[in-house]
Structure 1
Amino acid sequence: MKLRHFFPLLAGISLGASVSATSIDNHMPYLTLSDGSRIPQLGCGVWELNGQEAYKSVTESIKLGYRLIDTAQYYRNELETYQAVLDSGIPREEFYITTKLNPSNGSSEKNIRDSLDRSLKNLGGKIDLVLIHWPFSNDEMAWRIMEEYVQAGKFRSIGLSNYSPDALRRILKIAKVKPVLNQVELHPYNSKYPTVAEYEKEGVKVEAWSPLGAGRQGLLRDPVIADIAKAHGKSSAQVILRWDLQRGIITIPRSKNPAHIKENISIMDFQLSDEEMKQIDALNRDDALWDI
């Protein structure tokens, strides 16, 4: 099979009407990153899914309209994730694929380059977005190498994951290519309003991993969220993901359950009121699995 590799949604390419973070229609909302590229605001995560599970999850997600796919070297499912994209029959340029550099592969310049090259091979030769998965001792060297891959046209954008505001600013000081986003743990029990404001002040978008609470079953049963969900005829998960969208957060829920995958994307037909947003905001307790 001859593969086509394009970078979709570049600035200056018309893709129809722009969709705001709070618009209500049948279309996926997109956000514009600092380098002019555009990213779907809701995506499919494959953390903790083995290769076969990732393939099935991504396949189902694509059928339902997801186009942002988030994988990582650490997850060991890049190849299966990309195979699902290929097998969909949908042109590659319609997808936005993210992977992440595993700091365990960052002990030397050679190891960093080798790991990035493996990801390129696994993901078809070009990648929309590559993140550093978490801060590590050689991350400034890794950043400079990743900048080379951007300049060579192999990566369209680069960014960070699990970086505190101070760690982000450290990278910004040496960056020739600015990070376009920072992926962090974010959900109503860990809403990160002050730190999100710091990231956004630097022109860095925020993407939420584990937006449904990182396994905290109490979040999905929270009475405040449950009452809001009942008022809209939606589930608690749908209310939480809608809260993300209306905050301007990119969000990547993960599921291998087809019903949940469908539920997670069925959030474009309602809107939370300002009062409902404030009620969810008030649930914050700085309860995070990952302390940054």
Structure 2
Amino acid sequence: MKLKHFFPLLAGISLGASVSAASVENDMPYLTLSDGSRIPQLGCGVWELNGQEAYKSVTESIKLGYRLIDTAQYYRNESETYQAVLDSGIPREEFYITTKLNPSNGSSEKNIRDSLDRSLKNLGGKIDLVLIHWPFSNDEMAWRIMEEYVQEGKFKSIGLSNYSPEALRRILKIAKIKPVLNQVELHPYNSKYPTVAEYEKEGVKVEAWSPLGAGRQGLLRDPVIADIAKAHGKSSAQVILRWDLQRGIITIPRSKNPAHIKENISIMDFQLNDEEMKQIDALNRDDALWDI
């Protein structure tokens, strides 16, 4: 995997105008993962936010109805993210919390276990989903350890991030517990239809990081998306996130701007028609930050 642009590290097939795989609670669509767990399809990411910013962002997100919260060891804001969940007063079981193992903590079995235990401490002793943040030399060892944590009831589900189809198949060969999802860069300029199809063939859901292109490449100013947004009385960001939902993609936009956080979740009251979906699909350039 190679970073194609200078950019800090972050961390399938079109379903047409409706998400038949999703059930809806309070207008939020949920998807069912291969292990039977249910995950909200739209979440709050805290990449590149310091602890205080993450706390404020998650607090605001929770008020607006977000229940999927995505953090990572690499982000160094797990504790603040979880404190916002606690301070909300909403029962923990209503949330779906994801974190990621930092491969920098994967040099030995002891280091892997120690880092996972720190995440457990930071996030209240039980985590809904733990991902390996990107492939590394000891990731098969890490996967076996993560399987133990599932069997011990510490993690509900485990998965991957930034794994190519080939790297995914390598993990599948040694896995006793199957990855439930793969979190990858995905947006209209990097729509990943062929690779998403490969993931889904293995029963692995896809979650989009940088769904809005991280503000780069002029994606939010694309005239095709802008015209569709105007027709619906929505923003370009809202159209892109709606495109994700209708593809059956889980999506985790990140923002510390309260107006943007509200804008991102205000996408349950409209649908893109098949022609609009195709127009957005046609924007693909295979233009990715990460080459996987």
Q: TM-score, normalised by structure 2?
A: 0.92
Greater shift in the superposed pair: 117-126 or 20-29? 20-29
- What is the Cα deviation at residue 215 of structure 1? 2.8
- Shift of the 17–82 alpha-carbon distance from structure 1 to 2, 3 Å rule, reads farther
Partners of 2:3 and 2:13 in 1: CA distance? 22
Partners of 1:199 and 1:248 in 2: CA distance? 13
Structure 1 residues 226-274: Cα deviation after superposition (integer angstroms, max 9, x where no partner): 0000000000000000000000000000000000000000000000000
- Shift of the 229–18 alpha-carbon distance from structure 1 to 2, 3 Å rule, reads closer
Greater shift in the superposed pair: 88-97 or 18-27? 18-27
Partners of 2:211 and 2:4 in 1: CA distance? 32
2:148 pairs with 1:148? yes
Partners of 1:22 and 1:271 within 8 A in 2 = no
Indicate the residue corresponding to 1:214 in structure 2.
214
Structure 1 residues 127-171: Cα deviation after superposition (integer angstroms, max 9, x where no partner): 000000000000000000000000000000000000000000000
- Shift of the 128–3 alpha-carbon distance from structure 1 to 2, 3 Å rule, reads farther
Partners of 1:41 and 1:245 within 8 A in 2 = yes
Structure 1 residues 167-246: aligned runs within 5 Å: 167-216=167-216, 218-246=218-246
* CA RMSD across the alignment: 8.0
- Shift of the 20–9 alpha-carbon distance from structure 1 to 2, 3 Å rule, reads farther
- What is the Cα deviation at residue 16 of structure 1? 24
- Asked which structure has the greater RCO (Cα within 8 Å, sep 6+), the reply is 2
Partners of 2:58 and 2:69 within 8 A in 1 = yes
Partners of 2:266 and 2:105 in 1: CA distance? 37
- What is the Cα deviation at residue 218 of structure 1? 0.4
Structure 1 residues 15-30: aligned runs within 5 Å: 20=20, 26-30=26-30
Partners of 1:180 and 1:8 in 2: CA distance? 26
Partners of 1:44 and 1:254 within 8 A in 2 = yes
- Shift of the 102–270 alpha-carbon distance from structure 1 to 2, 3 Å rule, reads same
Structure 1 residues 163-184: Cα deviation after superposition (integer angstroms, max 9, x where no partner): 0000000000000000000000
- Shift of the 69–52 alpha-carbon distance from structure 1 to 2, 3 Å rule, reads same
Count residues with an aligned counterpart: 292
Partners of 2:13 and 2:103 in 1: CA distance? 35
Partners of 1:242 and 1:271 within 8 A in 2 = yes
Structure 1 residues 38-85: Cα deviation after superposition (integer angstroms, max 9, x where no partner): 000000000000000000000000000000000000000000000000
Indicate the residue corresponding to 1:160 in structure 2.
160
- Shift of the 157–25 alpha-carbon distance from structure 1 to 2, 3 Å rule, reads closer
Partners of 1:64 and 1:262 within 8 A in 2 = yes
Consecutive unaligned residues of structure 1, counting only runs of 5 or more, are none
- What is the Cα deviation at residue 27 of structure 1? 1.2
Give the SS at the match of 2:215. coil
Question: Percent same amino acid at aligned positions?
Answer: 96
Partners of 2:244 and 2:250 within 8 A in 1 = yes
Partners of 1:23 and 1:29 within 8 A in 2 = yes
Partners of 2:71 and 2:98 within 8 A in 1 = yes
Partners of 1:186 and 1:70 in 2: CA distance? 16
- Shift of the 136–260 alpha-carbon distance from structure 1 to 2, 3 Å rule, reads same
